[in-house]
Amino acid sequence: MMMFPLRRSVLPGVAFAALLLASAPQAPAASPGLHAEEIVRFPSQDADLTNGAPTTLTGRFLRPAGTGPFPTVVLLHGCSGLYTKSGRVSARHLDWALTLRDQGYAVLMVDSFGPRGIDQVCTRNERSVRASVERKRDAWAALAYLQDRRRDVDNDRIAVMGWSQGAGTVLAAYGPGSKEDGKGSGFRAAVAFYPGCGKPLKDQSWQPEGRLLMLLGGKDEWTPAETCVELANREPVKERTEVVVYPEAHHGFDSPASPLRKRTNLATAPTGEATVGTNESARKDAIARVSAFLAQELKG
């Protein structure tokens, strides 16, 4: 995937953007301040899966200008992970993180793979980090970290947003009664880009605990839109769900400057391969829709 060009270099946060692009997962924390990035660590809620020792997760926390407390968005990466092979934050996540930060949101990008010694799971049939098991606990842990340890976060205005496997995590973590205590997660709203909707569709009791926006590619061969459309049209899911299908878009349509290409050896694609890459018109519309949705749910 091509890296996102530094077109934001005219902004005061250029030094931060350069640091974000260059930093590897093990990078030390940056100095807090306006437009600052922090490398943060917090325990997952996976102790029941690890014989009592929760995984220490890492994340990248971004703050907008101002004193806060800020409405906040948790970002959950896909099966390729948060970082590229060179150790840089992937273009899609960087682009969305800076877009949201510039709109006045704090942003927490969660790395579910690096702390567990995994680079990607796209090509692995046996997955040790699963959307509906380990990763949903990571999402809950991110929310707990923000609510318990960040005075610069508005505890009641936190949304979760994910892509592909991370979007599947959104659906798993955002269902009512999804937590073992029978309560919802506590996220205010959720955005899911091209998730796999098979599991929630099979579960007749599944519904989002609040407002949900799903954005899908009509030509997505990896996570076909039809299953999610069927889920979104089911009672009572449709009462809380907005679904948008871009007819000409493939998987990863919102990634910036990513030419269409064929990916092979995909463990979860129906045929084992899929075309991925940018659809610029869908990308621009998705940015506008997500911006409006979050403004209504977190700032309204």
Q: What is the pLDDT along the chain (300 residues), one digit of tens a residue?
A: 222 222 222 223 333 444 444 444 444 344 333 356 899 999 999 999 998 899 999 999 999 999 889 999 999 999 999 999 999 999 999 999 999 999 999 999 999 999 999 999 999 988 889 999 999 999 999 999 999 999 999 999 999 999 999 999 999 999 866 565 656 789 999 999 999 999 999 999 999 999 999 999 999 999 999 999 999 999 999 999 999 999 999 999 999 999 999 999 999 999 999 999 999 999 999 999 999 999 999 998
Q: Determine if the peptide bond prior to 5 is cis (ω within 30°).
A: no
DSSP 29: P
Find the helix or strand (DSSP H, E) in which 18 lies: helix 14-22
CA proximity to 159, closest of 195, 188, 192: 188
Rounded CA Rg of the chain: 18
Q: Which of these CATH numbers, 3.40.50.450, 3.30.70.240, 3.40.50.1820, 3.30.1490.20, describes 7-20+32-299?
A: 3.40.50.1820
> Which residues touch 278 (CB under 8 Å, ≥6 apart)?
252, 253, 254, 255, 256, 257, 258, 259, 260
pTM of the model: 0.89
235, 213, 236, 216: which is closest to 226 by C-alpha? 216
- The C-alpha atoms of residue 108 and residue 112 are separated, in whole angstroms, by 12
